[in-house]
Amino acid sequence: MSSINRQWVLRNRPKGAIADGDLELVERPVPETGDGQIRVRTLYLSLDPTNRTWMNDSEGYLPPVGLGDVMRGLTLGVVEDSRSERFAVGDVVTTAAGGWADYAIMNAADASRVHRAPGLPLTANMSVLGMTGMTAYFGVTDVLKAKAGETLVISAAAGAVGSIAGQIARQRGCRVIGIAGGPEKCAWLTRDLGFDAAIDYKNEDVGAALDRLAPDGIDLNFENVGGDIMIAVFNRLKVHGRMAVCGLVSSYNATRMPPSPNFARIITHRLNIQGFLVLDYASRAKEMVAEMGPWLANGDIRWKVHVDNGLEGAVASLDRLFTGDHDGKLLVRVSEEPAA
């Protein structure tokens, strides 16, 4: 084990896109493990749009990261020292208590053991069988209550959550239209993932494409983006349409709020709009695994991870979420996996 722990520390609250100096990579000694604690070596760091919102000094579902504190992030790692009966050396765990760092010392209660799924790489536990898969699954099944024959539109459809959500909806018998950036991503959605149609927002008018592909209107919207794309879908929701708001990534680097829909339409069309957090469903993970497991085993659900190497590049990697320069779930490999 190295005695040095590299950590990304928040120095300034970004104004717009993250700038040089907003985060700093520092080196500190690895602390000793205390009673009831474990030391975890980070294997993978999850990069998610919400990382950017945690840098703001604003109200959110979690408090903002403090200036001078290690940047918060979900990680998957291996226990290298344990002073708790809950974990043994060599156990693989996931936690939000470690953050953007090589190592983390934490109370055992702040980590959850990870079981390798037969036939799947360890990264599946940070993607299709982790928080990403849960967000997609419960957004479609619990929030939207998707039914066979309904038309569902998903923004950021080639992203980690959107790509899985669309496939779950297809398994439920929905007609699925994805919105993504670029012909390659759109082709992946329709050719490989079974989406019924895809709209390239970089090269098409989204509203006109929706009118062509869903001339009778839209039943369901799984919203990840916000802004003009959200408005185009919102304005075409049918009476009693349902909208699950998972993210608003278009606003996370914005210096002014993007436009909002005309809320009078909620009344006239009796729309049901619900925001949700995957944290609300953490206790129901087994439900997701029970249904998703056979789909994965049969190849009915496909998924991608984009893995960048090196903790030192984490800030640059995070920018991929806002430029679209990745497919599927975005991870940083911080250290090598232990042998299976």
C-alpha to C-alpha distance for 242 and 239, rounded to whole angstroms: 9
SS percent in the chain: helix, strand, coil, step 5: 30, 25, 45
Pick from 105, 104, 112, 114: nearest CA to 86:
112
Pick from 106, 98, 18, 102: nearest CA to 56:
18
Residue by residue, DSSP assigns 36-75 as TEEEEEEEEEE--THHHHTTSSS--SSPPPPTTSBPP--E
Pick from 187, 136, 89: nearest CA to 295:
136
Residue 252, SS3?
Answer: coil
Pick from 67, 85, 87: nearest CA to 14:
67
β-bridge partners, 23? 10
Pick from 186, 240, 242: nearest CA to 213:
186
Distances in whole angstroms, Cα of residue 158 to Cα of each of 35, 131, 136, 180, 325: 44, 17, 12, 6, 11
Give the largest Cα separation in the chain, rounded.
63
Pick from 246, 247, 238: nearest CA to 269:
238
pLDDT at position 3, please? 84
Is residue 333 within 8 Å of 44, Cβ to Cβ? yes
Q: What tens digit of pLDDT does each residue of 131-150 get?
A: 999 999 999 999 999 999 99
**pLDDT less than 50: residues of the chain:** none
The residues, any chain, with a CB within 8 Å of residue 4's CB and separated by 6 or more, are 27, 28, 29, 30, 102
Q: β-pairing, 305-309 with 329-333?
A: parallel
Q: β-pairing, 4-10 with 23-29?
A: antiparallel
pLDDT at position 1, please? 63
The residues, any chain, with a CB within 8 Å of residue 292's CB and separated by 6 or more, are 128, 129, 133, 137, 168, 301
The residues, any chain, with a CB within 8 Å of residue 106's CB and separated by 6 or more, are 37, 38, 40, 95, 97, 98
β-bridge partners, 41? 78, 103
Q: What tens digit of pLDDT does each residue of 101-122 get?
A: 999 999 999 999 998 888 899 9
Amino acid sitting at position 334 = V
Is residue 111 within 8 Å of 14, Cβ to Cβ? no
Long-range contacts of 58-66 (CB under 8 A, 24+ apart): 61/277, 61/279, 64/13, 65/10, 66/10
Per-residue tokens: 156:
């950021």
